[in-house]
A and B are shown apart, each in its own frame.
Chain A
Amino acid sequence: MSSSTVAMPPTHYLNNGLTLKSWLFTKDHKRIALLYLVAVTFFFMVGAAFAVAIRLELATPAGDLLSDENYNRVFTMHGVMMVFFFLIPAVPAILGNFLIPLQIGAKDLAFPKLNLLSFYIYFVGSLFTMYSIVSGGLDTGWTFYTPFSTVASTSAVVPAALGIFINGFSGILTGLNFIVTIHKMRAPGMTWFRLPLFVWAHYATSLIQVLGTPVLAITIVLVAAERIFGFGLFNPAVGGDPVLFQHLFWFYSHPAVYIMILPAMGIISELVAASARKQVFGYTFVAFASIGIAVIGFLVWGHHMFVSGESVYAALVFSVLSFIVAVPSAVKVFNWIATMYRGSVSWETPMFYVAGFIGLFAIGGLTGLFLASMGLDVHLTDTYFIVAHFHYVMVGGTIMGYLGGIHFWWPKITGRMYNDLLGRVSAVVIFVGFNLTFFPQFVVGYLGMPRRYHAYPEEFQVLNVLSSAGASVLAVGYLMPLFYLAYSLKYGAIAGDNPHGAVGLEWNTTSPPPTENFKTTPVVTWEAYEYPTPVEGHVV
């Protein structure tokens, strides 16, 4: 292991230009990743503030804290902020941006200016959506179901929709950038099957971003057109079909779930391998599981609509495909566990996040089987069971993975170590708080409590109070890293190039890396996760 006496490299991407302009106009993928880190963290905080308001309101059965109108605006904005401005960009735009060039031995992404443009598109999109909060709010739910969103809602639907529309192009361009980079910029010897699984996961994610997001953009334009000009697209009073909207919306928004979870799975593959100092078990199966999930994930959107009046035979096909897409996810989990077998398993923070991810994702994935079961979905859909399920996947899965990745690569990003004890404690607090918050929601959902209810029957109160109490624990867990990571920026021990003793090209350069990433172009002669590393000068 590196000792704490190592010094920071004299020049690196962080001190190569200290002016504001050098940050705001940077074309360095690492600096752009940090711009995203700041923005995405901000939107997480905004989304979390809305979550606090929701859980406070639901602590009592009566709708007494917020008016019904405001409650609807609050849960809508919680969803919009978390889905479009936090979960979808979080891992790809921050860690993907930072790591893909480093992991494949490239100097930058294929299109650095496009990368910066993506960030500003995201920024402008977020401004429109934030504007909708102050100009009347948005009360359609993040799902924008028609004809409510196009005819009935009196809230600021168009600015919010415009923001999401604009933001979509950020994801499309980032995805395009990743695909081209992974195809064309790999270092000599970095064959497809030597790529880290993080890169495979991002390749699969990018395919979804590029192919799926335009459908969302079109759908949002149609909603705006109907709202502004009264086109009869979705409003049945003028000849439209409201269910058509749901097909278009979920055609993107179901794959969007995989945009959120696949990159987090990529992180887990990296963290398991590095924590166990062992090759990922069944590398090719894990890699193709990502592609399989991305492809089948495009064909399951109808499982959101089993009670929406789609034909029972269409429902049949969507159901069986939804069951089948569970298999590659299960394969990944089994391979991660097998990777730990006879490893040298670290007990540092990243491994704690990995363990948390696997536990929560297992529950999130298995409860997906309940919802793919049509006979059961009729009862469960639109209840708190759904809310619990997707939070287990998106929050328990994606955020655990994201935070695990942030901790694991923090020394590479900043050159400093955080307090590892606090890191482990935060992982445990988040895991416990998360289960306290969302497990009761499975129970109250099967009891029949519908989602998006401002007030609810009294017999559901105890479970809701448990959930709200859990949310306060969860909030502490999420705030902790903010403080000790910020503290480490100035006071953390110098990390050295490879504090984890991990393999992977990103650990073969300085921490923080130089602007050009590598002093000389690396030549790869080894397989992914090959321990002990054959790289000269590597400290294990």
Chain B
Amino acid sequence: MRSGTPLFPEAASTIAPRVDALYLFLVGLTAFMTILIAALVVIFMIKYKRRDPNSIGARIHGGMALEIIWSIIPLIIVLGIFVWSTGIFFDIARPPAETMNIYATGKQWMWKFQHLDGQREINELHVPVGRKVKMIMTSEDVIHDLYVPAFRVKADVIPGRYSHIWFEATKAGEYHLFCAEYCGTQHSGMIGKVVVMEPDDFQAWLSGGVQEGSLASAGSKLFQDLACNTCHRPDAQGRGPVLQNLFGKTVTLASGENVVVDEAYIRESILTPSQKVTAGFQPTMPTFQGLVSEEGILQLIEYVKSLKTDMPVSAVRPNTGGPAPNENTPAQAPPTRN
């Protein structure tokens, strides 16, 4: 964060220079067109100033060629800008496959972050340089928006949904973190900072502080505490679907519809379990609405994601590099309940 009066924001992510290049091009185009238009207005006002109060203008009705020229040329220019900007947008909107994931929960009026290793932060977010970081975000109350100007990214943080931003920081330092969607009384106080650290410093930061165990292990504990494990068993003998290797898979519902098991589906299945029941199972699961917080749900999601083998989670090393797909693990047999 800088002092003085900067006129251009710091660029601290891989996407920022590309956004800036388009911005500067458009500033140039705007300046050129505005000066051209203003100059023509002023020149015509001076050159054709009414000198005789009874004079009238020349009889000119229009010109088809001119109309076509000044329709087609702007059209081509704007479509060019469209193609350029859409390329940038698709890279912003679609996270790469391999990312370091951090969960964010917005509430009036603070940001809560949970790292996979278990570190929790409020209004401060530590990330390393040179890693692709994906924020998986939700809100406990109203719509917020996580915005880091130095990274040129933001996305609305919406209750009942998971939205994402991703970025790869390029420069160590401290940057503003804002809530960009108006959220009530202390909206302008819902701010914080992103601390971008060199990878070694980041590792040191990760291993420092209070260790509560990884996010997945917190999820595992919650899984036991809520007695989820009595039905969701790894051995296909439970009353609920087996969760091992489930994340990212497509399951068929009782309605015949197919859904991908993503964060939103897991959340929905915890809070409104009777909505989308996996084919072959009875809708016996009770709702956990009010029993588990948004942050708890994120822990459970991370636990489900961690269930890559049938090993208990405590035997899995904390994973700071996001989900490490283990292609060698044989897929669990689908539940057979007839």
**A residues apposed to B, CB below 8 Å:** 1, 63, 68-69, 72, 139, 141, 143, 145, 147-148, 151-153, 236-237, 239, 241-243, 276-279, 281-285, 306-309, 312, 315-316, 319-320, 323-324, 326-327, 330-331, 333-335, 337-338, 340-347, 351, 355, 358-359, 362-363, 366-367, 369-370, 372-379, 381-383, 443, 446-448, 450-459, 461-463, 501, 531-532, 540
Give Cα distance in the complex from A95 to B150, angstroms.
Answer: 46
For the complex formed, measure the closest distance between the CB of B134 and the CB atoms of chain A, giving whole angstroms. 15
Report whether A283 and B30 are in contact in the complex, using a CB–CB cutoff of 8 Å: no
Specify which chain B residues have a CB less than 8 angstroms from the CB of A285 in the assembled complex.
62, 67
Give Cα distance in the complex from A383 to B184, angstroms.
Answer: 16
Specify which chain B residues have a CB less than 8 angstroms from the CB of A370 in the assembled complex.
23, 26
Give Cα distance in the complex from A363 to B90, angstroms.
Answer: 27
Specify which chain B residues have a CB less than 8 angstroms from the CB of A347 in the assembled complex.
45, 49-50
Q: Name the segment of B140-148, B240-248, B277-285 touching the other chain.
A: B140-148
Report whether B57 and A344 are in contact in the complex, using a CB–CB cutoff of 8 Å: yes
- Residue with the highest number of chain A CB atoms closer than 10 Å, among B57, B79, B89, B179: B57
Report whether A306 and B89 are in contact in the complex, using a CB–CB cutoff of 8 Å: yes
Report whether B61 and A139 are in contact in the complex, using a CB–CB cutoff of 8 Å: no
Report whether A344 and B55 are in contact in the complex, using a CB–CB cutoff of 8 Å: yes
For the complex formed, measure the closest distance between the CB of A195 and the CB atoms of chain B, giving whole angstroms. 16
Report whether B30 and A278 are in contact in the complex, using a CB–CB cutoff of 8 Å: no
The 0/1 profile, CB within 8 Å of A marked 1, for residues 78-102 of chain B is: 1101101111111111100000000
Specify which chain A residues have a CB less than 8 angstroms from the CB of B60 in the assembled complex.
278-279, 281, 338, 341-342
Report whether B58 and A343 are in contact in the complex, using a CB–CB cutoff of 8 Å: yes
The 0/1 profile, CB within 8 Å of A marked 1, for residues 182-222 of chain B is: 11111111000000000000000000000000000000000
Q: What 15 new A-B contacts, CB under 8 Å, besides A278-B58, A345-B44, A450-B147?
A: A139-B185, A143-B182, A239-B272, A281-B60, A283-B61, A312-B90, A316-B86, A326-B78, A331-B74, A333-B37, A343-B57, A345-B48, A362-B38, A448-B178, A532-B56
Q: Which residue of B lies closest to A457 (CB)?
A: B176
Report whether B88 and A446 are in contact in the complex, using a CB–CB cutoff of 8 Å: no
29 residue pairs bridging A and B, Cβ less than 8 Å apart: A148-B183, A242-B158, A277-B50, A278-B57, A307-B156, A320-B79, A323-B78, A330-B70, A331-B70, A335-B67, A338-B63, A344-B56, A344-B57, A345-B44, A347-B45, A358-B37, A362-B38, A369-B78, A370-B26, A373-B89, A375-B84, A376-B23, A378-B154, A382-B147, A383-B149, A446-B8, A448-B178, A459-B4, A540-B56
Interface of B is mostly: mixed
Specify which chain B residues have a CB less than 8 angstroms from the CB of A459 in the assembled complex.
1-6
Specify which chain A residues have a CB less than 8 angstroms from the CB of B333 in the assembled complex.
none
Report whether A379 and B149 are in contact in the complex, using a CB–CB cutoff of 8 Å: yes
Q: Which residue of B lies closest to A458 (CB)?
A: B3
Whether a CB of chain A sits under 8 angstroms from the CB of B59 is yes
Give Cα distance in the complex from A242 to B139, angstroms.
Answer: 12
Give Cα distance in the complex from A1 to B94, angstroms.
Answer: 66
Give Cα distance in the complex from A145 to B41, angstroms.
Answer: 41
Report whether B187 and A72 are in contact in the complex, using a CB–CB cutoff of 8 Å: yes
For the complex formed, measure the closest distance between the CB of A188 and the CB atoms of chain B, giving whole angstroms. 23
Give Cα distance in the complex from A532 to B54, angstroms.
Answer: 10
Report whether B56 and A531 are in contact in the complex, using a CB–CB cutoff of 8 Å: yes
Q: Which residue of A lies closest to B18 (CB)?
A: A375
Specify which chain A residues have a CB less than 8 angstroms from the CB of B259 in the assembled complex.
none
Whether a CB of chain A sits under 8 angstroms from the CB of B159 is yes
Specify which chain B residues have a CB less than 8 angstroms from the CB of A308 in the assembled complex.
156, 158
Report whether A236 and B161 are in contact in the complex, using a CB–CB cutoff of 8 Å: yes
For the complex formed, measure the closest distance between the CB of B42 and the CB atoms of chain A, giving whole angstroms. 8
Q: Which residue of B lies closest to A308 (CB)?
A: B156
Specify which chain B residues have a CB less than 8 angstroms from the CB of A278 in the assembled complex.
56-60
Specify which chain A residues have a CB less than 8 angstroms from the CB of B185 in the assembled complex.
68-69, 72, 139
Specify which chain A residues have a CB less than 8 angstroms from the CB of B53 in the assembled complex.
1, 501
Report whether B187 and A341 are in contact in the complex, using a CB–CB cutoff of 8 Å: no
Specify which chain B residues have a CB less than 8 angstroms from the CB of A351 in the assembled complex.
45
Whether a CB of chain A sits under 8 angstroms from the CB of B266 is no
Q: Which residue of B lies closest to A530 (CB)?
A: B59
**B residues apposed to A, CB below 8 Å:** 1-9, 18-19, 22-23, 26, 29-30, 33-34, 37-38, 40-42, 44-45, 48-50, 52-63, 66-67, 70-71, 74-75, 78-79, 81-82, 84-94, 108, 141-143, 145, 147, 149-150, 152-156, 158-161, 163, 176, 178-189, 272
Contact of B55 among A242, A277, A359 (CB under 8 A): A277
Report whether B56 and A376 are in contact in the complex, using a CB–CB cutoff of 8 Å: no
Q: Which residue of B lies closest to A447 (CB)?
A: B9
Q: Which residue of A lies closest to B92 (CB)?
A: A378
Contact of B19 among A153, A375, A454 (CB under 8 A): A375
Specify which chain B residues have a CB less than 8 angstroms from the CB of A383 in the assembled complex.
149, 180
Specify which chain B residues have a CB less than 8 angstroms from the CB of A284 in the assembled complex.
62
For the complex formed, measure the closest distance between the CB of A325 and the CB atoms of chain B, giving whole angstroms. 10
Specify which chain A residues have a CB less than 8 angstroms from the CB of B153 in the assembled complex.
378-379
Specify which chain B residues have a CB less than 8 angstroms from the CB of A309 in the assembled complex.
155-156, 158, 161, 163
Contact of B160 among A69, A236, A346 (CB under 8 A): A236
Give Cα distance in the complex from A458 to B2, angstroms.
Answer: 9
Q: Which residue of B lies closest to A347 (CB)?
A: B49
Give Cα distance in the complex from A459 to B45, angstroms.
Answer: 41
Q: Which residue of A lies closest to B146 (CB)?
A: A307
Specify which chain B residues have a CB less than 8 angstroms from the CB of A143 in the assembled complex.
182
Report whether B45 and A340 are in contact in the complex, using a CB–CB cutoff of 8 Å: yes
Specify which chain A residues have a CB less than 8 angstroms from the CB of B61 in the assembled complex.
279, 281, 283
Give Cα distance in the complex from A205 to B264, angstroms.
Answer: 42
Closest 5 CB pairs of A and B: A448-B149, A375-B88, A236-B160, A278-B57, A373-B85
Report whether B155 and A307 are in contact in the complex, using a CB–CB cutoff of 8 Å: yes
Give Cα distance in the complex from A276 to B94, angstroms.
Answer: 53
Report whether B152 and A378 are in contact in the complex, using a CB–CB cutoff of 8 Å: yes
Give Cα distance in the complex from A321 to B188, angstroms.
Answer: 33
Report whether A369 and B66 are in contact in the complex, using a CB–CB cutoff of 8 Å: no
Report whether B56 and A323 are in contact in the complex, using a CB–CB cutoff of 8 Å: no
Report whether A334 and B182 are in contact in the complex, using a CB–CB cutoff of 8 Å: no
Report whether A463 and B48 are in contact in the complex, using a CB–CB cutoff of 8 Å: no
Give Cα distance in the complex from A243 to B142, angstroms.
Answer: 11
Report whether A68 and B188 are in contact in the complex, using a CB–CB cutoff of 8 Å: yes
Q: Which residue of B lies closest to A337 (CB)?
A: B40
Specify which chain B residues have a CB less than 8 angstroms from the CB of A345 in the assembled complex.
44-45, 48-50, 57
Contact of B89 among A236, A335, A343, A375 (CB under 8 A): A375
Give Cα distance in the complex from A32 to B145, angstroms.
Answer: 45
Contact of B82 among A323, A331, A362 (CB under 8 A): A323
Contact of A319 among B6, B85, B184 (CB under 8 A): B85
Specify which chain B residues have a CB less than 8 angstroms from the CB of A327 in the assembled complex.
71, 74-75, 78
Give Cα distance in the complex from A369 to B154, angstroms.
Answer: 19
Report whether B57 and A446 are in contact in the complex, using a CB–CB cutoff of 8 Å: no
Give Cα distance in the complex from A447 to B149, angstroms.
Answer: 7
For the complex formed, measure the closest distance between the CB of A197 and the CB atoms of chain B, giving whole angstroms. 13
Specify which chain B residues have a CB less than 8 angstroms from the CB of A147 in the assembled complex.
141-143, 159
Report whether A148 and B143 are in contact in the complex, using a CB–CB cutoff of 8 Å: yes
For the complex formed, measure the closest distance between the CB of B89 and the CB atoms of chain A, giving whole angstroms. 4
Report whether A374 and B143 are in contact in the complex, using a CB–CB cutoff of 8 Å: no
Report whether A363 and B34 are in contact in the complex, using a CB–CB cutoff of 8 Å: yes
Q: If A278-B57, A448-B178 touch, does A242 touch B159 (CB 8 Å cutoff)?
A: yes
Give Cα distance in the complex from A236 to B88, angstroms.
Answer: 31
Give Cα distance in the complex from A43 to B22, angstroms.
Answer: 40
Report whether A450 and B59 are in contact in the complex, using a CB–CB cutoff of 8 Å: no
Give Cα distance in the complex from A309 to B189, angstroms.
Answer: 24
Report whether A342 and B58 are in contact in the complex, using a CB–CB cutoff of 8 Å: yes
Q: If A312-B90, A359-B38 touch, does A452 touch B182 (CB 8 Å cutoff)?
A: yes
Give Cα distance in the complex from A148 to B158, angstroms.
Answer: 11
Report whether B37 and A453 are in contact in the complex, using a CB–CB cutoff of 8 Å: no
Report whether B48 and A344 are in contact in the complex, using a CB–CB cutoff of 8 Å: yes
